[in-house]
Amino acid sequence: MRSRRSCLAVPGSNPRFLDKAQGLPADEVFLDLEDSVAPSAKEQARKNVVEALRTGDWAGKTRVVRVNDLSTAWTYRDVIEVVEGAGDALDCLMLPKVEGAVQVAWLDTLLTQIEKATGLPVGRIGIEAQIENARGLVEVDAIAAASPRLETLVFGPADFMASINMKTLVVGQQPPGYTEGDAYHYILMRILMAARSHDLQAIDGPYLQIRDLDGFAKVARRSAALGFDGKWVLHPTQIEAANEVYSPSQDDYDHAELILDAYEYATTVERRGAVMLGDEMIDEASRKMALVVAAKGRAAGLTRTKTFEPPA
Ligand code: GLV
Ligand code: MG
């Protein structure tokens, strides 16, 4: 799986940002043709995005383009121009405001046709589906199952809050008056369950108060704690915070690697399925939890600082 701790939004209408994004340490960049681009700038933005993918240096980053949603007149041309123009320099397309499996199936079919027509390997370009309205959330299981190209489900809090008439304009913050618990818990969990039951990543959306890094980190920690894999970033200052929040801590990473070693030793050398690691009883379920943390730590470039000593 690709690392997506930080997913940087870059407006396709702004060549300076398209240039600058290449030097930033985000795991993913998505070049936007949708809501950060004015209607009158949509056509030029397609050209900018193709040019940036073709000529830019995006090494080490997952390259994504967000097309317009299917209620507009722009989507099919977005897909055709971007994939015909730069399909070999593109990892995924992001489809916003997805409301049903049929929309993902449409994109899958169109991608297959363009790949066949242009000689690209069929099926290599992935899909990221944004869940950002009530209909999308109600249909999220079917959406998650709609195509083998799907790699992630992405929560779109701004559109979502508008869609359900949530009583606040501050994206990601608790609506005033709601004092019991977390107003986003159900939505995040619903998306996470659909994602995990189809082996997809779950990505949290943007935090718009870009000068409030503490607020960003707090909201990010909330979805990271549940199990989300990463979050959108709108500004360079948010990248480092996202990379940190969605990576395991050094302690957790070391602990996970120790559990894997200890459990391997227990099951193969000692032939036991449940053993003690220090004061902790570990078994097959512990191994599964440790695998997740170890994989995230390795993907984040952590190296272990503790080695396993077999019991004397
Ligand atoms: C992102 O697209 C959002 O609507 O929050
Ligand atoms: Mg949106």
Per-position pLDDT tens, the chain of length 312: 799 999 999 999 999 999 999 999 999 999 999 999 999 999 999 999 999 999 999 999 999 999 999 999 999 999 999 999 999 999 999 999 999 999 999 999 999 999 999 999 999 999 999 999 999 999 999 999 999 999 999 999 999 999 999 988 888 888 999 988 899 999 999 999 999 999 999 999 999 999 999 999 999 999 999 999 999 999 999 999 999 999 999 999 999 999 999 999 999 998 888 888 888 999 999 999 999 999 999 988 899 999 998 877
Does 175 fall in a domain? yes
Residue nearest to atom 1 of ligand 1 (CA): 156
Question: Looking up tokens 């998505």, which residue turns up?
Answer: 30
| Residue 163 structural domain | 6-245
Does 304 fall in a domain? no
Separation of CA 81 and ligand 1 centre (Å): 23
Provide the CB-side half-sphere exposure for 135 (13 A, CA): 8
Does 306 fall in a domain? no
Do 167 and 266 fall into the same domain? Answer: no
CA-angle at 95, arms to 75 and 66, nearest 5°: 80
- CA-nearest of 262, 268, 308 to 283 is 262
Do 224 and 100 fall into the same domain? Answer: yes
Do 118 and 227 fall into the same domain? Answer: yes
Q: Does ligand 1 have an atom closer than 6 angstroms to the CB of 162?
A: no
Task: Give the CATH number of the domain where residue 233 resides.
Answer: 3.20.20.60
Do 33 and 156 fall into the same domain? Answer: yes
Do 55 and 201 fall into the same domain? Answer: yes
pTM: 0.93
Does 1 fall in a domain? no
Separation of CA 203 and ligand 1 centre (Å): 12
Does 311 fall in a domain? no
CB 191 within 8 A of CB 153: yes
Separation of CA 276 and ligand 2 centre (Å): 48
Residue 233's Cβ-count burial label (10 Å; 0-12, 13-18, 19+) is buried
CB 37 within 8 A of CB 12: yes
Question: Looking up tokens 């005033």, which residue turns up?
Answer: 176
CA of 205, closest atom in ligand 1: 5
Q: Which residue of 130, 131, 187 sits with most ligand 1 atoms within 8 Å of its CB, as the best mutation to test the pocket?
A: 130
Do 114 and 186 fall into the same domain? Answer: yes
- CA-nearest of 188, 195, 198, 180 to 226 is 188
How many domains in the chain? 2
- CA-nearest of 199, 311, 230, 296 to 257 is 296
Query: Which helix or strand (DSSP H or E) is residue 245 part of?
Result: helix 236-245
* Pair of tokens at residue 280: 């902790």
Do 269 and 209 fall into the same domain? Answer: no
